[in-house]
Structure 1
Amino acid sequence: MQHLLRSFWRAALWLPAMLWLAAAPCAQAADETLRVGSKRFTESYILAEVLAQTAAPHTAAPPVVRQGLGNTAIVYEALRSGAIDLYAEYTGTIALEILKGSPADTREAMNAALAPLGLGVAIPLGFNDGYALAVRAADADRLGLRTLSDLAKHPELRIGLSNEFIGRADGWKGLAARYDFKQTPTGLDHGLAYEAMTARQIDAIDIYTTDAKIDHLGLRVLEDDKRYFPRYDAVVLYRLDLPTRLPKAWAALQALEGRIDEHAMIAMNARAELQGVRFDTIARDFLAGATKDGKTPPNAARGFTAKLFGPDLWPLARQHLLLVAVSVGVAILIGVPLAILVFPHLRLRAVVLGFASVMQTVPSLALLAVLISLLGAIGALPALIALTLYSLLPIMRNTVTGLAEVPHGLRLAGTALGMTPPQSLRFVLMPLALPTLLAGVRTATAIAIGTATIAAFIGAGGFGERIVTGLALNDRELLMAGALPAAAMALVSEGIFELIELWMRRHRRAPPSSLPPA
């Protein structure tokens, strides 16, 4: 049991450091790497690939595409902090969400306002993708719905809106005030809104005017008769140091100006949402001039097997495993010593375990948002901190429980043998508490594997990337292609812990290899 205990501590000490070093990017290459971000909807995924592939021949290292980072606030924070260099944004969003003002009349005025932030706007891509509300065509004909004013006259109709639109400065609050809407909207993911419309669970949704499913599902876009929405011309929002840091890549990106019209964008969205074509394939075909008719080349669409065993399977598995192993390892290093320290003090123990319990109840997305704000960064760091906090409770609680379950007689026996308190902890308490402690690590690992899928919402990678993309596309097969490997990883971890416990039970009665002198 003693050598098992020593092996346990040795692994806990070295594994997180080794894995963290393996996961860390090369700092020397960071300045030469173009980092492209995207929001969490189809068009943004595609445009990120278009930008990255356009610049790729002109960069020393392949561009890094950080897909599906989240809503405007998260992607903007990633840009401001330097986690990404640029992403496709829209003029109305920049004016109202980022600059918190009215739409600028010119790009020059917008750049003047962004310059103090170290950001700029450039490369208008050539299309407007505005917000609008849509209803089923049959309902529009039956109720005479043509404009948003007409919709406001029917408070019985159920409105479902994306959570971002509900909270945006140019979103629901202002729209409801302008048109005097009486409805209380239901918040839901943009990718699921069309399915909810098809199932008749809601009657009106917010849409992007380049969405591919508008015509496919027979929806009617309502006219903004009171001109509430500004124009949302697609542009590139970038860090001002980018043109000097990567001049050749920046020159190549300039060639995209005016190249994507609304017809081309709708066709690309349709290939992703209706035909299941990969985003990188869509971007590659567009840049090669192969998607003007919106048709899909043979074998471009993917079935479930291709999605499940795609080329991203191992990179995502590695990212997911690193997130889990590092966070649980750090939680062991923090939680076990802390639990040992507070164990003799009942009140202090209650306070510490109570704090860990409170952290366990904080919703994961809310915790990630707070950490992004505090750290000024996205990606692995806030994700690892969140997963570590979630792993602390089962490890600490089981450590305390294991120590409390050691029979009083054995404690006295150690004292009778002349052991000091540290020796008693090492040779009596911890070996007997180890099975219970290990059960806590097992629980923490299971929690971390499941929670790590949420980390993809802030660009930390893992199988959650497939789940996030599947939500954006309303693609059940892609959702399952992300969920099944995560579930398989959880089952494998359970099997490993089961084997460890079986081995411990077989060796539990073996005499200790050495005891301290009396």
Structure 2
Amino acid sequence: MWRAVAWVLAAALAGAMPARAADPLRIGSKRFTESYILGELLTQAAGPPGAAQHQPGLGNTAIVFEALKAGGIDLYPDYTGTLAAEILKLPPGAGLDAIQRALAPMGLGAAIPLGFENTYALAVSDARAGALRRLSDLAAQPQFRLGLSHEFLGRADGWPGLASRYGLPQRPVGLDHGVAYEALAAGQVDAIDIYSTDAKIRKYKLRVLEDDRHYFPRYDAVVVYRLDVPQRFPQAWQALERLAGRVSADDMIAMNAAAEIDGQSFDAIARAFLAGTAGQKATHDGAEPRSRLAAALFGPDTTRLALRHVGLVAGAVGAATLVGVPLGMLAARRRRTGQAVLGVVNVLQTVPSLALLAMLIPLLGRIGVWPAMVALFLYALLPIVRNTATGLEQVPQGMRDAGRALGLRGGQVLRYVELPLALPVLLAGVKTAAIISVGTATIAAFVGAGGFGERIATGLALNDTALLLAGAIPAAVLALVVQAAFETLEWALRRHRDARC
């Protein structure tokens, strides 16, 4: 059994690890539409295919910045206001020079102003706005329901400071930015936070409230990079420098609209901009949602995503089995130690997945497969350890005594008596861990590890139900396949045991 697990683990690691390329420039992006587009734009502008690699949708600002510091990526697009207020805690009004000085001790820099600003703002439906024109007007509207993105709620330049500056009495609820506009249109909230280059501002006819007390800083789009990038990738860096000042606010709004309204891919949008054909509407065949779902389900990336997803799950569960079974044996043998072991794996299970991934990035010094694999491994331990301990504890003492009466020693009793009798319960734990891991592995996309979570993350950013389902359905099917495989294995083991009896 252990040899088989080791082979599965080795094969899974080979499948999960990305193919080694000749040191491509690694470009990250955050998990919202504009960042996806800018990441793809930088990737294509850096040179021919293969010169740069886009690792999209890595999460919020803190996660992507930690990935940059740790060397998991080489650069990513961000905004001066975010860098100054949220990351570097610089005084208000800090410009690009001050940001560069503050980043330099970390081995980082900020350069290549792309040519547009994308500031934060609050917006209300024009039909419900009434006399509201300025942010200060909200102070007299305590009944207004605010739906704000989770990042904005916690940012230094977000809601806490805004509420203090304007004396706002509202208690906002957290919403994913991808669904906030639809929630506002449906009347579920009265105001949301927006980016000034969002295409949906015009689509939903929103009124952007004036920042009359000048709370928000400037948010000029720039490239944040590791200082060794110009030396390591001189040609790519020179190509990226040619993007300086080329992207206007209108250009960015048009590209966001192409993604969120016209349904174009990020790759196609970036290619059109660089070719000078941006703004031309894509030709659509009037496809119904069902056909769009089918196209997304069986897209050209399906095999790649499936192999990565299976590799992550098999690698993590295989490693958890190799570690968890001995821990379960220890827990069954030594009660006090066992309680401590089970307590630790229980605590690991309660750590939120995204929080665990965020902690693992600086610890491991990288993004991608390894943080995802470690997180899945830790989550898979509990059912394996617990079921191993339970299975061994349920072995009748008489069976152990019978083994010893036949001359078997301690280790032989474990191998020939206890483990075979505990195997059904042990396998049930591995099955549970594997099925849970299939679902949990979708978070791997948030650290650039791939899998079907890529579609889910992109679907969330675009509020694209078809793309969300194209990620969720294969993951659910894979979970059913895993369950069926384990049940088949359990049936085969029962038949083998019955035949021997």
TM-score scaled to structure 1, two decimals?
0.93
**3-state SS of 1:510 partner:** helix
1:430 aligns with 2:419: yes
* 2:16 and 2:309 in contact (8 A); partners too: no
Is 1:17 the equivalent of 2:3? no
Higher mean C-alpha deviation, range 341-350 or range 425-434? 341-350
Please point out which of 136, 139, 152 is paired with 1:149.
136
* Distance (Å, rounded) in 1 between the aligned partners of 2:327 and 2:247: 57
Question: Of the candidates 476, 482, 501, which is equivalent to residue 487 of structure 1?
Answer: 476
Percent identity, aligned pairs only, is 60
SS at match of 1:343: helix
| Comparing 264-273 and 308-317, the one that deviates more | 308-317
Deviations 1:177-216 (A, max 9, x none): 1100011111111111112112211111000000011110
Question: Where does residue 336 of structure 2 map in the other structure?
Answer: 347
Q: Map 1:106-505 to 2 at 5 A.
A: 106-140=95-129, 142=130, 144-292=131-279, 294-298=280-284, 303-505=292-494
Q: Which whole-Å deviations, capped at 9, do the CAs of 1:221-261 have from their partners, x for residues lacking one? A: 00000111111111111111111111111111111111111
**Cα deviation, residue 25, structure 1:** 4.3
Preserved contact between residue 52 and residue 64 of structure 1 (Cα < 8 Å) = yes
Report the more deviating stretch, 170-179 or 308-317.
308-317
Which residues of structure 1 form unaligned runs of 5+?
1-7, 513-518
CA separation in 1, counterparts of 2:478 and 2:39? 30
8 A Cα contact 2:15 2:308, kept in partner:
no
CA contact (8 A) 2:72 2:365 kept: no
In 2: Cα distance, 1:395 partner to 1:452 partner = 17
Please tell me whether the aligned partners of residues 139 and 145 of structure 1 are also in contact (alpha carbons under 8 angstroms): no
**How far off is 1:297 after superposition?**
3.9
2:33 corresponds in structure 1 to: 42
Q: Answer yes or no: is the 8 Å Cα contact 1:86–1:238 preserved in 2.
A: yes
- Count of residue correspondences: 498
Distance, in Å, in 1 between the alignment partners of 2:391 and 2:96 is 64
Q: With the length of structure 2 as denominator, give the TM-score of the two structures.
A: 0.96
Write the letter of the residue equivalent to 1:295. Answer: K
**Is 1:453–1:463's contact at 8 Å kept on the other side of the alignment?**
yes
Shift of 1:103: 4.8
Corresponding residue number in structure 2 for 1:511: 500
CA distance in 2, matches of 1:425, 1:105: 67
Distance 1:244 1:103 in 2: 33
TM-aligned CA deviation for residue 509 of structure 1: 2.2
Instruction: State how far apart, in whole Å, the 1-side matches of 2:314 and 2:115 are.
Output: 45
Correspondence for 1:516? none
Contact 1:463 1:485 in 2 (8 A): yes
Distance in 2 between residues matched to 1:20 and 1:104, nearest whole Å: 48
Contact 2:147–2:180 under 8 Å retained in 1: yes
Contact map agreement 2:16 2:312 (CA 8 A) in 1: no
Partner letter of residue 438 of structure 2? I
- The answer (yes or no) to whether the contact 2:110–2:222 under 8 Å persists in 1 is yes
Change (3 A) 1:109 1:369: closer
Q: Secondary structure at the match of 1:64?
A: strand
Inter-partner Cα distance in structure 2 for 1:390 and 1:487: 18
Shift of 1:343: 1.1
1:354 is paired with a residue whose SS is helix
* Residue 43 of structure 1, CA deviation: 0.3
Distance apart, 1:310 and its partner CA:
1.3
Which segment is superposed worse, 9-18 or 82-91? 9-18
**Per-residue deviation at 1:345?**
1.9
Check whether the contact 1:281–1:300 (CA below 8 A) recurs between aligned residues.
no
| Alpha-carbon distance between aligned partners in 2 of 1:232 and 1:46, rounded to the nearest angstrom | 17
Partner amino acid, structure 2, of 1:235? V
Q: Partners of 1:373 and 1:187 in 2: how far apart? A: 27
- Counterpart code for 1:14: W
Name the CA distance, whole Å, in 1 between partners of 2:100 and 2:79.
13
For residues 390-410 of structure 1, what are the alpha-carbon distances to aligned partners after superposition, in whole Å with 9 as ceiling and x for unaligned?
A: 111111111112112222222
RMSD: 1.8
SS in 2 for 1:232: coil
Inter-partner Cα distance in structure 1 for 2:213 and 2:407: 86
Shift of 1:319: 1.3
Residue 424 of structure 1 aligns to which amino acid in structure 2? Answer: V
